[in-house]
Structure 1
């Protein structure tokens, strides 16, 4: 579980600039329907150059912490809950077919990932999309705790779960299929690779 979370966090850290630009471009709209702060990037390259000229190298990672927390939680929940769900379903005798067992355990894990991860998705998106001053400091949120506090006070728990269903329909199928294919590949490995070595 530790190495899964570590691997996820490493990838997230290096991809953070692109995730930030994606969040900013998703929120961008024409003036007549624009809501919230508009970064007005014309392309990914324009966004990279603008961030670098305005805030330097550190500007690319200004909101990496909530993104790292998001990945840490998702990886830990995903890797930690799948084997437990699988054991429970198998031990209770509810599901015996191997593929169906992997599917249901993966779906359970994916559901828990969505529930645990939704607040971190909201925090990450809000911090990535906020305007910053000339020193790269957020004009709306000072940091992760400030962002959480302001959302909680003004929007309550509902604010932490905005966009939950899109997160669920992204996380649950992804987690389910990942574990179904992973378990099937392990089965094929044991059947064809290890059996040949024993012979």
Structure 2
């Protein structure tokens, strides 16, 4: 049940945050491997991107890739949050005195992140390629055309094999190991500290909300470079469509830094924050409340 609760929390939050994910994907592909003065920005800010996408592709384009995004949210969070909750319940994240043990918490949150990355990578590839596809006047990055989520899965399997579903998986696992460690460790620690200080004792929802806000800021700072790498590796496609732009995580990081500078590694940080912050808040609050409800029902 812990895994189902985690999945529902992630899928539910995705509905509200997917438009920012579409914008984030476009920003991260814009000006790919070009210096800032060598290309014209088709998206000049978050609100401009929302307007341009809606004008050229229609309002529904702001929810592009929603189906694989929800599948991704359910798969990733069912594994990540479910595995971490089991570790919490079993006391594997605590010291002998029953207090939060930072090292143990980091280990279990990182391990759950890596496992969720492996499970959810196929959905991530499909989501990114569908979100990147746009009208020629605003297209950025390589364009892949699919007739929906199932067609994308079938086409990728036929043209790239199983390997195609695991493009960028090393970056995914690294990003989620770091991101989950930052998110879940901070979430658990902040919650415990707030309770120790006497805050939000009577409101579990407010407690989870306050702790999740801190998580969102930290996650964006540590995740963005690897998130940019993820987007580039997911979207480049097979070698048959042209020369591969990147040969792995480190090659991608090096090329982005060399041609686009530090700015390139933090492309899309604005919409990424506006996606991660509410997604983190919504998913962790939903997760925390569902777990509390489930635990109460078990006891009764």
- How many pairs align? 192
Query: Which is greater in Rg?
Result: 1
- CA shift, 1:148, in A, is 0.6
Q: How does 1:66-145 map to 2 (within 5 A)?
A: 66-89=171-194, 93=197, 96-98=199-201, 99=203, 100-134=206-240, 139-145=244-250
Secondary structure at the aligned position of 1:129 is classed as helix
Answer with 23-32 or 144-153: which moved more: 23-32
TM-score, structure 1 as length reference:
0.78
Answer with 136-145 or 110-119: which moved more: 136-145
Q: In the superposition, relative to structure 1, how do residues 16 and 124 fare at CA in structure 2: closer, same or farther (>3 Å)?
A: same
- CA shift, 1:81, in A, is 1.3
Structure 2 residue runs without a partner (length 5+)? 1-104
- CA shift, 1:190, in A, is 7.9
Write the distance in 1 (CA, Å) between the matches of 2:115 and 2:295.
30
Map of 1:10 onto structure 2 = 115
Q: How does 1:143-182 map to 2 (within 5 A)?
A: 143-181=248-286
- CA shift, 1:149, in A, is 0.9
TM-score, structure 2 as length reference:
0.55
Write the distance in 2 (CA, Å) between the matches of 1:182 and 1:131.
34
Write the distance in 2 (CA, Å) between the matches of 1:154 and 1:138.
18
CA root-mean-square deviation? 2.9
Answer with 110-119 or 174-183: which moved more: 174-183
Answer with 152-161 or 183-192: which moved more: 183-192
Map of 2:56 onto structure 1 = none
Give a deviation string over 1:63-118, Cα, whole Å, max 9, x none. 21112222212211111112333455556x5x622334443222112211121111
Give a deviation string over 1:27-58, Cα, whole Å, max 9, x none. 11233432321122233333223322222222
Secondary structure at the aligned position of 1:140 is classed as coil
**8 Å Cα contact 2:112-2:177 kept in structure 1:** no
